[in-house]
Amino acid sequence: MVKENQMKKQIILGVVSALLLSTGCQPSTKTLDELDWALGTWHGSRRAAEDGLDVPMTVRVERLDCGQIERLQVESSPRPYVGFTIRSRDASGRWTMIYANSTRPSIGRLQGTFENKRSKWESIAPDQKHASRFVSEQIDANHWHRTQFVSEDGGKTWKTLFTDALERAPDK
């Protein structure tokens, strides 16, 4: 069991390293104000649209020189769902989100836009049939709402996959 956990940690570190390398992340003096509010630890629940069940989750967001890294864990059964996200600016200054999770081997890429306290992240390759949209909304200083949508017809119609309701964890 200990050896298996060590192997999982090595795999996770490898994935995170690959994510960082794939962003082309360069230290920048550009402000991260659009995302600074999300830094810290968050607790809440994920509600799957399919069955409506709420499952406990934790999200940790930390600053990188050029963006943020996020680790989330949803306490699903029989094993937790774990995901890692890197949000950074690309060479042209646009926001990019790159993520990997414990349920699929591929790395997802989305581009982000911001308006007020809301961001929308969408699949980069619009020519694909399967598309993804992730909407993140800061409700107030201590509450965050996120919704994941998917499309199987290239973005003509969208279906909710899940919603996250998060509350900032108190400082220790």
CATH of the domain at 7: 2.40.128.20
How many residues are given for the chain?
172
Count of structural domains within the chain: 1
Q: Which residue has the tokens 């964890």?
A: 169
What's the 3-state SS for 65-131? CCEEEEEEEECCCCCCEEEEEEEEECCCCCEEEEEEECCEEEEEEEEEEEECCEEEEEECCCCCCCE
* Greater model confidence, 43 or 20: 43
Average pLDDT score over residue span 45-68: 93
pLDDT at 83 over 90: yes
pLDDT at 144: 96
Whole-number pLDDT of residue 126:
60
Mean pLDDT of the chain: 82
- Measured between alpha carbons, how far is 69 from 60 in angstroms, rounded to an integer? 8
pLDDT mean over 83-89? 93
The rounded Cα 21 to chain-centroid distance in angstroms is: 17
pTM (two decimals): 0.79
Domain that holds residue 83: 2-168
The closest alpha carbon to 75, from 46, 101, 102, belongs to 46
Q: What is the pLDDT of residues 111-164, one digit of tens each?
A: 999 888 899 999 866 667 888 999 999 999 999 999 999 999 888 899 999 999
Dihedral angle at the C-alpha atoms of 129, 51, 118, 87, nearest 10 degrees? Answer: -60
What is the model's pLDDT at position 171? 76
**3 state SS of 54:** strand
Q: Are 61 and 39 in contact (CB under 8 A)?
A: yes
